[in-house]
Amino acid sequence: MKLLQDGSTLDGFRIDSCLHSGGMAHIYRVSYADGRADPGFPMAMKVPRMASGDGAENIVGFEVECNILQALSGPHVPRFIAAGDLQRVPYLVMEYVQGRTLQHWVEHHAALDGAMIATLGIGMAQAAHALHRQHAVHLDLKPDNLLLRSSAAARHGPDAGADANAKPVDLTVPAGPMLLLDFGLSFHAHYPDLLAEQLRKAVGSPAWIAPEQVVGVRGDLRSDIFAIGVVLYQLCTGHLPFGSPRTPAGVRQRLWVDPVPPRSYRPELPPWLQEVVMRCLEPEAARRYPSAAHLAFDLAHPAQIAVSARGHNTQPTSFWTHTKRWLKAAGMHYQASPLVSEQISQVPIVMVALPYENASDATLYSLREAAARSLGIRPGARLACVTVIPDSLSNSSVDAQSETSVQRRYLAWLHEWARALNHPGHQTSCHVLESGNVAQALIDYAVGNQVHMIVMGAATHGLKTQRLIATVPLKVAMAAPCTVILVKQGLPFAHLGGMALASVQGIASEPNASAPI
C-alpha cells in the first residue's frame, strides 16, 4: 500500500505525519478527524506494506498483531484503539508512546555498569512476565521492540538540538514500566497460530531467535528469555552473541554453539551478571530460567546468585564440546511446550514470611512444612524466605556497624531455618527487610518480585480481637496480588519426647546455635 498523505483521513482518523516507513509496515501519527473527544494520549496508526514484492508474512503478521493486541492489557503494552477491515484497508491504531528503545543503551554499552544493565534486564523480564501471564509469548524481543518512556525533560527526543561534544549522552534509565512493541510474530494460547499454520517455516529476527524457534517450536515462554539474554549480551559487550546470520545454516548453529563469555570482552563485568546472561542463552530451553519472573528475581538480588564456573569463565567453549553438542542436536526431537500459563504455574516463586520475634517453635515448624508442601514436586520452583524487622532495631545500638550486624544475624537465622527443608532442584534465597509497616513491606516485596504464593503464620488473636484490630496476616491476605496461605501451628510436641527446642528469640540472637528450630 502506498504512503498515506499528511492531512488525509481514513475511517475518522486524520493522518498527521509519517513516523516510520519500514520493510513490513508504515507508521503514522494520527488524531481524530470526526469530532470525537481526544483520548488523552497521542495515537499512532500502523498500516502493513502490501506491494507486489512484499512477503505473505507482512499481512499474516499484521492479522496476528490485531488479534493479540486487543487481548492484552496493562502498562507493558500500548493501548489498543481501533483496527481496519482486512478486506478493505487494514490498519491498526494504538497508543503512541514517546521514548527511547533499548537500542539507545546498546549503542552506548561501554558506559553501562553491572547495576545499570541489571536494571534494564529487570524491566525486560517484568514486561515479558506480564505478557506471559496473559497467555502470550512475544517471540521477537530485540532492542528496537523494547521501549522506555521518555521523562518530561526528554519528551522531545534524544538530545534534540544538542552538541554531542558539549552535552554528555543521557543514559539514565527512566522510572516506569518497559513497553513491548510489535506483536506480529507473537503467539497467544487462545488464538490460532496463523504464522505456524500458513508460513510453515521458522519466523523471527535471526540475531535474537531462540534455538527451538529455529526448528519450528513456538509458544514456549523460554524463547523470550533467550531473546532477553541476547539483548543483555549486547548491553554487556556491544556484540551479538551469535553474530548476524543470513542463512538457515548460520541460524541453526545456536543449537549447539556457546557465545564468547561477556567477561572476555569486558573483564570488569561482575561474574554474577555473566552467570545470568549465559544461563539465558542455554541452547536447551530446560536449562534456562523457567520463567521471566525468576530472571527478574536474580537480577534484583545479585548477592543471592550462586555463581558457577559459567560466571567466572573468560575462555570460549572448546571445539570438542561444540562437536558433542552438534551430534546431540542432530538427533534431538523438540517437543511442543505446554500452555504458557501452565509453564508459569509449574515453577512458582513461593515466599514464606517468618516473624522476627515471638514465634513459637510449633509455628516455625508448621511454616517449614507448609513451604515444603507448596514447593511440592515442582522442579525449578523458588523459595524466598523473608522477615521484616523494624527500622528502629538496626538503629538501637551506638555501634556504627549495628545495621550490618543485625542484617547478618537475621540472614543467618533465615538460612538456618531453611536448611532443614533440603529440597534439591529448588533455589532458596533469604531476605531481611526493614520497615515500620510489616504488612506493606511484605506486599511490596510480593508485587516487586512477582511472587505466586505467600506462606505466613496465622494471627494468634481471637476472632473478636481481629474484628477490632486488622492483624498483619489479615492485611496481607486482603491486599496481596497472589494466593496467601495462613498456617496455624501443628507440631505434636507430645510425640517428640519432650525435646526442648530453642525459641525464635534465641535463634535470632545466636544465629550459629546448633539447636534445631
The SS3 call for residue 12 is coil
pLDDT in tens, 392-410: 665 655 454 566 788 888 8
Going by pLDDT thresholds of 50, 70 and 90, the confidence category of residue 159 is very low
Q: How many residues does the chain have?
A: 517
Q: What is the pLDDT of residue 381?
A: 85
- Give the relative orientation of helices 292-300 and 271-280 as an angle to the nearest 10 degrees: 170
Q: 325: closest CA among 279, 256, 258?
A: 256
Most confident listed range (54-68, 234-248, 350-364, 369-383): 234-248
Region 248-255: mean pLDDT is 86
Residue 61: pLDDT over 90: no
pLDDT reported for residue 462: 47
Percent of the chain with pLDDT over 70: 80
3-state secondary structure of 358: coil
Tell me which of 490 and 71 has the higher pLDDT. 71
Extract the runs of DSSP E, i.e. beta strands, from 5-112: 9-10, 13-21, 25-32, 43-48, 80-83, 92-95, 99-101
Q: Is 246 exposed, middle or buried (0-12, 13-18, 19+ CB in 10 A)?
A: exposed
Above 80 in pLDDT, residue 490?
Answer: no
- Set of cell numbers at residue 436: 515500620
User: Which pLDDT belongs to residue 57?
Assistant: 67
pLDDT at 266 over 80: yes
| pLDDT, position 43 | 95
More confident residue, 195 or 186: 186
Beta strands in 171-275 (DSSP E): 178-180, 187-188
Return the closest-CA partner of residue 281 out of 247, 304, 311.
311
226 close to 239: Cβ distance less than 8 angstroms:
no
Highest mean pLDDT among 332-341, 345-354, 422-431, 483-492: 345-354
Q: In angstroms, rounded to a whole number, what is the distance separating the alpha carbons of residues 434 and 289?
A: 29
Top-confidence residue, 1 or 359: 359
Average pLDDT, the chain: 82
Residue 261 clears pLDDT 90, i.e. is over it: yes
Q: What's the predicted TM-score (pTM) here?
A: 0.83
What band does 178 get if pLDDT is binned at 50, 70 and 90?
very high
Backbone conformation region of residue 12, classed left if phi is above 0, alpha if psi is from -120 to 50, else beta: left
- Please say if the pLDDT value at position 426 is more than 60: yes
**What is the per-residue pLDDT for 402?**
66
pLDDT of residue 344: 80
Domains of the chain: 9-95 (3.30.200.20), 106-151+174-342 (1.10.510.10), 348-509 (3.40.50.620)
